[in-house]
A and B are shown apart, each in its own frame.
Chain A
């Protein structure tokens, strides 16, 4: 891989509580290259959103980064003071969240929100900022941007609003975009359009994208590589085709089997979906050894006692004792 744009090493996010410290993200390492889309997938509580929040420096107290480091273009950003991090965020990292309504200010026109963001981060004049805003709106597929730039967020439909949010995230031409469930609130037909848009932006602008989602379908359509998270840890990471078609970690395997596939005929009806028994452990009750062991059909003694670290299996890294000979 080319030299990574983003490098996360041994990230650990903790929440101190009265009843002890909860570890929400535990020893997560990965990297994203320029122009690459890394999908981060997992069920609710897997720690995928917190990983994203830690990278953009928006962890809500008392949550904090307890260990590890985050490097953007080689420079450490996890220990930056608040005001310097503010400049990194927005300028070099853009963020797209699930609900486009909460990312936009309902009291300002979208044109004002776009131009202000551009003026804050880039050294350009007002006219140039306005022109850029128009170009961005056209680029994300908003029809008639000249007419729409003076509109307020409520005048846009859900899909169009999410396009505006994407335009806003791209204002300062960031090198990295963190997209947290960007399509979850949208209908399938709109979802497909937003996915196509994200892919095009990564390709044409060379922007690295960290795409956080619970939806394997979105990952299959969008990502180059995928990281599967479970109970705050990385279960498996590798090229998307390999992980989806030949998952190595028993959790990934179960997850893939449990997703209903679009299939015709009685055959689909007759076959029960693969189920993973039980549910993901709560943060205060993560089992010893491999966090997945109570639900794992392939567990053996070692899994109960020792925690597996990711080891190379083919093109992927897999944290499972099935592959960890030593």
Chain B
């Protein structure tokens, strides 16, 4: 078990800290803040089937009660297995899905408040998608792809200035300005992802939502893209929300990490802290599942079970059917995210001190 750090004693049962509590000990106000955000999808059978077969409406809670803040200049990563809701969170933030519940604030302004110029705020964020083969229009020249946000936002006063800017953006992602005359199919996957990044940067955003930006790439190319993203962040002062299923990648890029399971954040902590002392049993399980490349023979507990059907999530803690530490309370009562020791964990076993940490 993890080395027990100080004072796991308190927090009696039922007295969890308020949900929606965000990050550990942050001083600066977050650039982006999610409060109790939720999104449901209606996955009911068609109306006729419901009438004829008496099938009920079915709601899938893709994201439920998610709260966190992203501070200016940092990288917050969301990790989890497929279906945990991490990509839905990304899409909620950039406005590709509407919220079912909760609030998203960007730079202190509630995006859903009346009278807010949402497009004006949203142009300060951009998104990089997973598949660089699907996210670039094959019929457009690269220069048009990169210039689209510049044109849409009216950022260039003349065609010459636009050309200048596109060339500069392409250089920034280590492509040549002449590459603007080519089409996407003339580039490899890694180069295409560079084009996506150039396009995302062309609107001068402060905040980038990166949804599995390297998952479709070979490892040697992934390293190029991750290094490039780190460099750009430093140079341009960017803030990243980084979505990934790969814990090793996350440990390389993130300042803070949120672990998601079945639509909820189960642990949120500084990267250093999370990878040194993972506290939620699910985080521990994920880390144990990462292949041991050094072949150090570090002790690992075998992983059991699968993610349950999100249409019928287990009562209480959603992880309890797979959790070696589950007891009756875990099966009945949903744990809230409790902030302590520079991290937040949603686990009764941790809160009660049944588990180290």
Contacts and interface: CB of A to CB of B under 8 A. Distances in A.
B251 A189 contact: no
B224 interface: yes
B218 A44 contact: yes
Given A190-B306, A193-B303, A259-B219, A265 B295 contact: no
B17 interface: no
B223 A220 contact: no
B289 interface: yes
Interface string A266-292: 101100111111011000000000000
Interface in A169-209: 187-193, 195-196
Given A189-B303, A220-B292, A262-B251, A273 B81 contact: no
Contacts of A275: 220, 223-224, 227
Nearest to A215: B291
B11 interface: no
Interface stretch (B155-163, B241-249, B344-352): B241-249
Contacts of A188: 81, 245, 247, 286, 289-290
Does more than half of chain A's interface fall in helix, strand or loop, or is it mixed? helix
A269 B221 contact: no
How many chain A residues sit at the interface, stated as a range, is 35 or more
B327 interface: no
A261 B248 contact: yes
A157 interface: yes
B252 A273 contact: yes
A274 B223 contact: yes
B26 interface: no
A214 B275 CA distance: 25
Contact of B247 (A191, A262, A279, A280): A262
Interface in B287-303: 287-295, 302-303
Interface residues of B, number: 48
A274 B294 CA distance: 16
A265 B291 contact: no
Does more than half of chain B's interface fall in helix, strand or loop, or is it mixed? helix
Given A220-B295, A265-B276, A269-B253, A192 B220 contact: no
B291 A218 contact: yes
B226 A260 contact: yes
Contact of B276 (A255, A264, A274, A279): A264
A264 B223 contact: no
A261 B293 contact: yes
Interface in A244-272: 244-245, 254-266, 268-269, 272
Nearest to A193: B303
A192 B293 contact: no
Given A189-B285, A196-B302, A217-B290, A262 B248 contact: yes
B177 to A, nearest CB: 19
A192 B289 contact: yes
A260 B248 contact: yes
Contact of B221 (A195, A220, A221, A279): A279
Contact of B220 (A220, A221, A254): A254
Contacts of A220: 291-293, 295
Contacts, number: 137
Nearest to A218: B291
Given A159-B306, A193-B303, A279-B188, A261 B224 contact: no
A159 B305 CA distance: 10
B336 interface: no
Contacts of B218: 43-44, 214, 280
A241 interface: yes
Nearest to A295: B220
B248 A264 contact: no
Contacts of A44: 189, 218
A262 B223 contact: no
B307 interface: yes
Contacts of B190: 279
16 contacts: A187-B81, A188-B286, A188-B289, A192-B291, A195-B291, A214-B219, A255-B219, A256-B293, A257-B223, A258-B222, A260-B246, A261-B248, A262-B248, A262-B275, A269-B254, A272-B230
Interface of A: 43-44, 157, 159-160, 187-193, 195-196, 214-218, 220-221, 240-241, 244-245, 254-266, 268-269, 272-277, 279-280
Given A260-B226, A260-B251, A277-B224, 14 more contacts: A188-B286, A189-B289, A192-B289, A214-B218, A214-B219, A216-B291, A220-B295, A260-B248, A262-B247, A263-B252, A266-B272, A272-B230, A273-B223, A279-B220
